[in-house]
Chains A and B, each alone.
Chain A
Amino acid sequence: AQKVTQAQTEISVVEKEDVTLDCVYETRDTTYYLFWYKQPPSGELVFLIRRNSFDEQNEISGRYSWNFQKSTSSFNFTITASQVVDSAVYFCALSPTTRRQLTFGSGTQLTVLP
């Protein structure tokens, strides 16, 4: 069984603040993928990043960065210098590499105030 936990239901920050969204997962699979998706008010999920369980190297893409720690089963997402356009629901997800089945966390509603 797989499980993804996003303990932060809602987060509010003021523009230009840094914010970290937490994600903790459980899986019995030895190889898996971790994902982050963004859901703006329009409803469509937008892919942000995929990380293979073999690759624990942190990644930075512009203002976004991801910290994968296999020892603590966490895959946290940080937005640096947040902007109002970052306001959305963010989902963390997990998928075994042997089958294509995404399990999502409950999401974190991020509100960035001007």
Chain B
Amino acid sequence: DGGITQSPKYLFRKEGQNVTLSCEQNLNHDAMYWYRQDPGQGLRLIYYSQIVNDFQKGDIAEGYSVSREKKESFPLTVTSAQKNPTAFYLCASSTGLEAFFGQGTRLTVV
């Protein structure tokens, strides 16, 4: 089936550790995105990529990093510099006319 796969669904991180969230799509979309969702704040854009080997910061990129080495993959690393990483993270890919979302990763710092 075509779609976006995020893994893992739940992730626990100790303070001071980096952690990487996976996002894979088989929709052949050029554009991919990472959003962060906090209660009552909607979705905020972290990073986006319009094409392989290129990406841009979104509204809240500090403490995060990404790579886009393959069209299908857009992993997000939450670094120790991110002071409040506990949140729900959503990955999306887009044709420009519609965005398709993964099922999300819930990250908790313990």
Decide if A47 touches B99 in the complex (CB within 8 Å). Answer: yes
Is B55 an interface residue when CB atoms closer than 8 A count as contact?
Answer: no
Chief secondary structure at chain A's binding surface? loop
Partner of B42, one of A42, A50, A104: A104
Beyond A44-B103, A44-B104, is A106–B41 a contact (Cβ under 8 Å)? yes
Query: A9 — nearest CB in chain B belongs to which residue?
Result: B40
Decide if A103 touches B45 in the complex (CB within 8 Å). Answer: yes
Decide if A45 touches B40 in the complex (CB within 8 Å). Answer: no
Decide if A106 touches B42 in the complex (CB within 8 Å). Answer: yes
Shortest Cβ gap from B89 to chain A (Å): 10
- Taking CB atoms, residues of chain B closer than 8 Å to A107 are 40, 42
Is B64 an interface residue when CB atoms closer than 8 A count as contact?
Answer: no
Decide if B48 touches A101 in the complex (CB within 8 Å). Answer: yes
Scan residues 94-110 of chain B and give those whose CB is less than 8 A from a CB of chain A. 94, 96-104, 106
Return the CB mask of A99-113 against B: 1 if under 8 Å, else 0. Answer: 111111111000000
Which positions in A face B, CB cutoff 8 Å?
4, 6, 9, 33, 35, 37, 42-45, 47, 50, 91, 97, 99-107
- 19 cross-chain CB contacts under 8 A: A35-B98, A43-B90, A43-B103, A43-B104, A43-B106, A44-B101, A44-B104, A45-B99, A47-B100, A91-B42, A91-B43, A99-B50, A102-B33, A102-B43, A103-B45, A104-B35, A104-B44, A106-B41, A106-B42
